[in-house]
Amino acid sequence: MEMDEAPARLRCKPSWLLNKVSARAHRLIKETMAAAGGHAYHFAILAALDEFGPDSQVQIGQRCGIDQSDMHAMLNELAGQGHVERTSDPADRRRNLITLTASGRRRLEELDTTLTGVQHDILDALSATERDTLTALLTRILG
Amino acid sequence: MEMDEAPARLRCKPSWLLNKVSARAHRLIKETMAAAGGHAYHFAILAALDEFGPDSQVQIGQRCGIDQSDMHAMLNELAGQGHVERTSDPADRRRNLITLTASGRRRLEELDTTLTGVQHDILDALSATERDTLTALLTRILG
DNA sequence: GACCAATCTTGGTCAGGCCAAGAGTACATC
DNA sequence: GATGTACTCTTGGCCTGACCAAGATTGGTC
C-alpha cells in the first residue's frame, strides 16, 4: 500500500492525483458502508427519493448516474430492507413507482451522518476553507 | 451519460464529486491511450524508469502504485514493443532488471505530450491558477 | 390494428485493483 | 555447509463498478 516517491511526471498529472484520491475515498466508503450493512448507491437512491419524491427507476438512475440494471439490484436490496416500496404505477403500468418509507427516511439520515463523517477522514489534511474550495472546483469541472 | 440534477445531499459530498470527476478523466485517458496503442500504466512505468533508472519490478510497482501481477502484464507489453528490456540482474538473480530503451524514451515523451493534452480537456472549466490549486490540494490529500 | 417508444428485467461483458500460491534465489545463522 | 527465512517473479485467480443488449410488457400514435 505504501508508495515510494512517485515519478514527478506522474505526480504532476491531475488525472493521476484524482484517480488515487478517488480510489482511496472509494475504499474507505465501501468499507464503512459494508460495516453499516449498506452500499454507497443506497444513499444516493434514498437521497433522490427524499429530495424529489416518488419516482420511476429510470428517473432515479438518471439523477444519480446509476445504470438501470444496477438500479434494479440496489432496489431489490432496499426493498428487502423495507426502506423503499416498489409498486406498479397505476397511471403508467410500465413504470414502478419507488417510494421512500419511514424506515427509509431514518436510514437516509443514518447513512448521511456516516458518510459525512467519512468525508472528514478523507479530507483530513485540508482546512475547512480548503475543503470548500476543492468541492467548488470539482463541481465546476463536472459542469 | 447526461445526468439530471443530482440530489443536493449527493452533490455536496466530495467523495461523490471525486468519483465522478475521476471516472470521467479515466475514461478520456483510456480512450486516448488506446488510440495511441498504449495504456496509462505504460506512461507511469516509463516515467519511473526515466527518473530513477533501471530497477526491479517490485520497486517500479511501489513507486507507481501498480500491483506485481499487473506490472508483469504491462512489462510484457512494453518489452514486446521494444520500449523496455527485461534482463536477469547478475547481482541478484531473483530480480529482473528493467531498463529503458531509446525507443522507450521517445515513447515516454510521446505519451507525456498526449497525456498533458488530455489534462487540459479534463480541466477545461478551470483557469490556470485554479488547476494549480486543485493539483496542490489533491497532492496534500495524498500526503 | 399496426407501429413505435418507453420501462423494467435479465443476463451478460470488461477493466482495474487486488490476493495467494508456487518456484527460484539470496542471505544469515547455526 | 545445511537449514530456515526473506525476497522476487510468475501464474492464475477473484471482486467490484460500470456498462451493454435483448426480451417482455405497456403506452401512445397513426
A15-45 as b/e: b if 16+ CB within 10 A: bbbbbbbbebbbeebeebbeeeebbbbbbbb
Please compute the mean of the pLDDT values over residues B30-43 and round it to a whole number. Answer: 96
Q: What is the pLDDT of residues B43-68, one digit of tens each?
A: 999 999 999 999 999 999 999 999 99
Q: What is the pLDDT of residues A68-100, one digit of tens each?
A: 999 999 999 999 999 999 999 999 999 999 999
Q: Which CATH architecture has domain B30-138?
A: Orthogonal Bundle (1.10)
Residue B143, pLDDT score: 87
Q: Which nucleotides of C are covered by protein (CB under 7 A)?
A: 6-12, 15-20, 24-27
Three-class secondary structure assignment of chain B: CCCCCCCHHHHCCHHHHHHHHHHHHHHHHHHHHHHCCCCHHHHHHHHHHHHHCCECHHHHHHHHCCCHHHHHHHHHHHHHCCCEEEEECCCCCCCEEEEECHHHHHHHHHHHHHHHHHHHHHCCCCCHHHHHHHHHHHHHHHC
Chain A hits for B131, Cβ within 8 Å: 14
Of B7, B16, B126, which has the smallest distance from its Cβ to A137's Cβ? Answer: B126
Flag whether pLDDT at B3 surpasses 70: no
Residue B2, pLDDT score: 58
Q: How far is the CA of B75 from the C1' of D7 (A)?
A: 20
The C-alpha cell at A108 is 437516509
Confidence band of A29 (pLDDT split at 50, 70, 90): very high
CATH 3.40.50.11780 fits A32-142, yes or no: no
Give the separation between CA B116 and CA B99, rounded to whole angstroms.
24
Residue A139, min C-alpha distance to chain B (Å): 7
pLDDT, mean over chain A: 96
Verify whether the Cβ–Cβ distance A13 to B119 is below 8 Å: yes
Verify whether the Cβ–Cβ distance A4 to B125 is below 8 Å: no
Residue B41, min C-alpha distance to chain A (Å): 10
Amino acid at B11: R
Confidence band of B1 (pLDDT split at 50, 70, 90): very low
Chain B hits for A68, Cβ within 8 Å: none
Verify whether the Cβ–Cβ distance A119 to B5 is below 8 Å: no
The C-alpha cell at A119 is 468525508
pLDDT, mean over chain B: 96
Flag whether pLDDT at B4 surpasses 80: no
Domain locations in chain A as residue ranges = 32-142
Residue A27, pLDDT score: 97
**Share above pLDDT 70 across residues of chain A, in percent, rounded to a whole number:** 98
* B20 vs B5: which has the higher pLDDT: B20
Residue B115, min C-alpha distance to chain A (Å): 8
Confidence band of A2 (pLDDT split at 50, 70, 90): low
Please compute the mean of the pLDDT values over residues B34-48 and round it to a whole number. Answer: 97
